[in-house]
Every structure is written in C-alpha cells, then in structure tokens.
Homo-oligomer: A and B are copies of this chain.
Amino acid sequence: MLYNDWTLSNNEYDPQKRQARDALFFTGNGYFGIRGFFEEDEKTLGANGGIYMTGVFGMGSYDAWEGKSSELCNVPNVLRVSISCNQEDVDGFSSISDFNQSLDMKKGIYTRKYLWTTAEGKRLEFAFERFASMSDRHKIGQRITVKALDKIDDLSISALLDSDVTNLNLVSGEPLPVQPGRNHFISRSVKTNTLSVTLDDPDSTVLNFAQHTVASINGKPITGKVITTGKTCGTSYSCSLNNNDVLILEKMIITVTSLDEHLDAEQAIKKFLSNPVCYEQEFTRHCFSLTDKWRISDIEIDTETDDLTIVRYNIYQLLCVCPEHTDRFGIGARGLTGEMYEGCVFWDNEIFVLPFFLYTNPSAARKQLMFRYHTLDAARRHAKKNWFEGAMYPWQVDRKGIEQTPVNCGAYYAIHIIGDIAFSIYRYWELTGDDNFMMSYGAEILYETARFWISRCDFNSFDGKYHIFAVRGPNEYDVYVNDNAFTNMMAAYNLKSVKNVFQKLKDSHPVKFENLFKRLGASQDEISQFWKVADKLYIPYNAKMDLYLEDDTYLIRRSLDLKRAKPTKKRIIDSTLPYEALPLYQVTKQSDTVLLCCLFPHLFTQQQRENIYSFYEPRTAHDSSLSYSPHGILAANIGLHKEAYSYFIKSAYLDVNDLQLNTISGLHFANFGGTWQMVFHGFAGISTDNGRLCIKPNLPAQWNRLTLHCCFLGHIVKIDIDKFCIAVHKETGESPLTVCVAGQDYLVEDEPLTIKY
C-alpha cells in the first residue's frame, strides 16, 4: 500500500487480497456505501457489486428476538459496466498490467486504472472513477475513460443498473470463492434507465434507481442505445477507436427509497431525468462539501512516517459512513462496507465512533443519538420481554432497534450497552450544552435506562450492596460474570446522571421540565432511589493491589499462557481453546477496565491507571478490533510513549494490514473512531472536565507537530501541539473558553494562546 499525503493507493493486483481491498477502497456518503469492486467484472462474486445503504435491510437467515432476523442488503449494482473489445470481455483482472487503485481522500474519489491487452496484442488504457456525492447524498457519479494505444475496431461499453445480485456473504477465513448470499428482491420494475426493487423486509421497502449517461470520443459526443432486460437496464455505446483516441463515459445515478421521508421518488427521478446534472458539476459540488467537512475533521501531523495519510484514512471512513441525512439509523460495526454482523449497530456506535462526531460534528452526533430515541419503544418492549422495567437497549440492532443477536448468544448479558448509550447522551449534553435535546429526548432515555438498572440489580443483605449478576462486559471471553466493573460503573453513572440532568433542566426550564416529569411518571423518590442504588452498587476492587477488578473472580482464575493460547494472529477461540473454556482463565478478550480509564479519565488516580494497565495488558488477547485504541490511549496518558505508539500503529493500520484477518467482510469502524480517539485523547491528551478543555499532550517521538480542531460548548477550537507548546485558537464562539494544562486553568479569548507544557 502506498501512502502519499491525501492519497492511499496500491499498484499490485493480487486475487487473494482483492476482496479485502474492495473493502479498503470503500467510498460512501452515509447514504450509500460502495465497496471498491470492479464494475466491469461479470465473472466472479464481484458481479454482485457491494453497495449498501444506511438502514436498508432485508430478511436474514435466522430467528431473532422478534421474528426473522434482518441483514444489511446488497442493493442493485448501479455501477455495473459491461465491456467488450473485439469480442473479448474486459473483466478488470484478466490480461491486465500497470494496475493501480487509488483513493483521493481530499476529493473523495476512487480511481482504478490498468492497461489491457487483447489476444491480438492491442492495448487500451482503462480508468474508472466513482464518487458518492457529499452535496446530494442520493447521487453517485461514475466516469470511465478508455484510451486506445492501438487501433481498436470494435469497442462496446454498457453502463447498467443491475438488480441481478445477491448478498456477498463474505466470511473471513473461508476459502474463496464463498457461496453467494441471499437475493433480497421480491419484485422488480425495470424500465428505460430506471429500476425499482421491493425488498423482502417486513416493510416491503422499495428502492428506486435511475441513471443518466453521456459518452464522447475525444470530446465529441456519441449516441448510445437503450438496453432493458428482466433485471437490468442501461445504455450501451459501440464504437471503433484510433490510436490515441480517448472515450469518456460519464454516468450520474439517483436513488430514492421508500425510507426517504419527505421525498417523492417518482417526482425526484422525473426531475433528475429531465434535467440531469452532469458528472463534473456534481463532482465539484461534492468536493466543496467534503472540503467543508475536512476543515474541522482533518488532523495534520508533521512526521516522516506514513501516519498523516493513515490518520486521514481513518477519519475519511468516518466521514464517508456518517448518515447525516437521517436520524433513523446509526453506524454499524462494519459501517456500509460489508455484511458482517448483519450490518447492525452495537455499542461501537456510541463508545468508539460517536466521540469523533461529538468533537467535530455535534449535529451528526445528535442524529445518531436520535436513532436511539426513535428505538426507545423497542428497548422498552425488550425490557418487558425479559421481565425488566424501563428500557433495555438491545446489543445488536437493526433499523427498528430490535435485538438481532440470536437467542442464547450472550445478548442478554451484554447490557453495558444500555449504560454506554446513557453515557453518550450525557456526554453529548456536556460537550454541546444542548438543553433542547436533553429536554425533548435525552432525559427520557436516561430515566428509562435508569429504571432498567433498578430492575436489573439485586440487593444482597450479606454485604449491604447492590449487585448486577449475569453480565458480559467488554471482555466477552467471560461468557458471563457477576459484577463486571465496567458494566457496574456505567450503570452507576447512568443512575446518577438522572439527578444531575433533572436538577439542571428544572432550574433552566421549569415549565418544560414539569411536562417532562409528568410524561415520564417520574418522582423525586425514584430519582433518589437511582442515586442511592448507584452509591451502593458494588464495584470489584482489590485494596491491597489498588486494582479495579474486571469481576470478583478474575483474580482467582488460573493464569493463561497467551503465547500458547494465541500462537498466531488468529483469535484464541479460532485456534486453540474453545470459547467455553475461557472463564477458567485470566484472559481478557479486549480492553475492559482499560476502557473505563479512557471513558473516565478524571476518575482514577495515576497509580490506579498504571496498575490497571500493567495488570491487564499482559492478559489481553486483543481478539477484537476494539482493543488496541483504548490501550493506546491509556498508555499515552500514563506516559508509556513507546507502547502507545505501538498500539497506534496496530489501530491506525488495522484494516490496511488486515490485522484481524477479516477486513474482507468489512472495515472496522469502531477502530477508525478508536484511532481518532487515540490521537485526540491519547497523543493530544484532550479531555473535558467541568466545562474546561484539558490538554496533556503525549506526542509520539515520531511526530513533531499535531494540529487539529474540535467543537466544544459552541466553540470551534484549533489546537496546535509541538514538542513543547500547545497553541489554542478559538476560531468561533462568543464566550471565553477555559483550557486546563498541567492543573492550571487558562482563559482563551479571541486571540490564540500558547502554553508551554
């Protein structure tokens, strides 16, 4: 892989790695996610494309908690191209040389090029470009450039909308080719350059696509022929080319679905077809929108390494997957880059991905939290089904917020997600001061999740404490434990947050508050009880070691020889010991108490954080992509610079190096968020505390300077860190900003402030 400032590229065509690279060269705009598949390949699984849309699910393959499961649907391949030249098919990988695929992250465009040679030795240069428009998310642009290096008698190229696809069903570790997955279209309507399909989901969601193409040779337009078959439609161009002739085919696609509220599909498509936007025009608008996003999101690093490019790559994926057009779904574990985990949303969304948006795009963060509000009723139903009160947010959810983990696979235990959501609601409010959101939506979530915890914990008269039994913390290798420190601390935080929030809302907006209070059937007694239970919630801790324990039994389990258990990159459970063996051992799948230190940077003493790191780190298998970044943050925060940087490398290059051996089935979005957090919370050392922005930089030796922006309480703040100084510049925002460095508060007014550290 080649790293060059804003560009990630690859000059090698390797059939074994091709489908993992399809994931790597993903482009998207939060509405669409498009794997970097070869649009001209009609021979392999690649013919199915790999295009996903936020919230577009079909029927899955197993029984979930409320009927049949859901799975992210591979929608029709709207970038489909069929190319033949002198009766030979061009498939993008046979008879090629000078291959290059490249992602320009500044412009948000993916380009693939190669030289193709016919059986007779005639040569053509092909270039394929695509972008998913950031200015109009319903639109995708595609451009194909063909340059003849020899005389070509007969070139035919068809730009299609193809509904003859199935899900990709790519499973990591399976030998290729894998079996194609399900076709989700129960009906189709194919007309001139327009295509509609109806999905097999319970809502019979309808997806409508239309395209407009233009083609030219050396700038002179040529005319195409309309093609319409049972499953495919499009326009086909045939021509001959002389030496050095250049054919350019440009195509714009519009998509509207029945999930798009306030948009009439028929009208939108009619308008598009009657007055089509041209490729170049839309691309310019798209670049403009993307540049606007980069203005706050970009992180500049002065370094001799490839880190600048890879950090941008991590951020770019977050920009491309963010569904800013809707508040009806979040960001799935693999975003829109693959089908693993059925495309569902987990705690990754709140704990790993959301902080990036909280600090760079609070309105996008708000929308993701609104998704949780919209599924609050499903969470209430889930609580009731499981004999609890309040709202029990499921572990793995589709668009409707329904639990998609198969029954008896641990979802009942993984309740820390409920605290994680509440934590994020509170963090959003802390960082934005958005009382309106809290009053109308957030407080209700906090209250209902607090009610859940009250019904989920048990009072033990033996020790006078409340306990939470039968849970699975972030260390999923526990099967289940009683009193997981992470779960219990998140629960306590959730329970206590109600009093804080309600007091402040009551003070600031007494009338609205009264309505809220009534609506929830709330009472001061109940709020007091939340606080009381939180206060007496048992947190496993060993005083002699000054060590927070993952759970009460962790210390008394047998130690595990990690080298024996994990001799390769493969997960323990895929290589040596069965999953059910692991509760016998001191082994942590992924950051658990370490993560607590990252979420509550001001709660633990320096010594406690050091103890946690030095005790758990050697016992952690990192058998999850969610593990490296919290370890990197904590290592940076406690001054273990080398270790921190080593974790950064693992996290930042995780998908590029296929560290988890499953990039093929989608990119790891929690890890992208984690990489950003490692730079922001770890190396820049930024946290917030009581309305102040705290900065304690821990720059890696390999970096000379780090520049980034963040949003905080209505300000946009630019922070510039070199080896000795922090420069803080408040770019927007009226009120002064308090910055805390080395325990001392500084007031940042309109002028930039430079502080030695």
Contact = CB atoms under 8 A, between A and B. Distances in A.
Contact of A410 (B412, B458, B580): B580
A197 to B, nearest CB: 32
Contacts of A639: none
Nearest to A457: B558
A229 interface: no
B482 A553 contact: yes
Contacts of A480: 479-480, 580, 583
B469 A553 contact: yes
Contacts of A386: 577-578, 581
A556 B386 CA distance: 20
Q: Which of the listed residues A387, A553, A579 has the most CB atoms from chain B within 10 Å of its own CB?
A: A387
A557 interface: yes
Contact of A580 (B412, B578, B579): B412
Given A458-B558, A479-B480, A584-B469, A408 B553 contact: no
A413 B581 CA distance: 8
Q: Which of the listed residues A407, A467, A470, A558 has the most CB atoms from chain B within 10 Å of its own CB?
A: A470
A460 interface: yes
Interface string A389-422: 0000000000000000001111111000000000
Contacts of A413: 580
A408 B458 contact: no
Contacts of A470: 479, 580-581, 583-584
Contact of A556 (B411, B467, B553, B558): B467
A interface, by DSSP: helix, strand, loop or mixed?
A: loop
B408 A580 contact: yes
A553 B410 CA distance: 20
A581 B412 contact: yes
A617 B87 CA distance: 80
A646 to B, nearest CB: 29
A383 to B, nearest CB: 12
A553 B469 CA distance: 9
A577 B387 contact: yes
B387 A579 contact: no
Nearest to A409: B580
A410 B408 CA distance: 12
Contacts of A580: 407-413, 470, 480
Interface residues of A, number: 29
Contacts of A462: 556
Contact of A458 (B460, B479, B557, B581): B557
Contacts of A557: 458, 469
Contact of A412 (B407, B412, B467, B578): B578
A407 B580 CA distance: 8
A469 B583 CA distance: 8
Interface in A584-625: 584
Interface in A283-306: none
Nearest to A412: B580
A202 to B, nearest CB: 22
Contact of A578 (B408, B469, B558, B577): B408
A578 B407 contact: yes
A142 to B, nearest CB: 44
Contacts of A579: 407-408
A457 to B, nearest CB: 10
Nearest to A577: B387
A583 B482 CA distance: 9
A643 B267 CA distance: 75
A467 B583 CA distance: 13
A250 to B, nearest CB: 51
Contacts of A482: 553
Interface string A296-327: 00000000000000000000000000000000
A479 B409 CA distance: 12
Interface string A504-539: 000000000000000000000000000000000000
Nearest to A461: B556
Interface string A557-585: 11000000000000000000111110110
A186 to B, nearest CB: 25
A577 B578 CA distance: 26
Contacts of A479: 470, 479-480
A470 B553 CA distance: 11
Contacts of A460: 556
Nearest to A410: B580
A270 to B, nearest CB: 50
A216 B362 CA distance: 94
Nearest to A472: B580
Interface in A535-561: 553, 556-558
A46 to B, nearest CB: 30
A556 B469 CA distance: 9
A553 B579 CA distance: 22
A357 to B, nearest CB: 33
Contacts of A408: 578-580
Interface in A483-520: none
Given A407-B579, A458-B557, 6 more contacts: A407-B580, A413-B580, A467-B556, A469-B556, A469-B558, A470-B581
7 contacts: A407-B579, A408-B579, A412-B578, A412-B581, A469-B583, A470-B581, A480-B480
Q: Which 6 A-B pairs have the closest CB atoms?
A: A412-B580, A470-B583, A470-B584, A408-B579, A408-B580, A407-B578
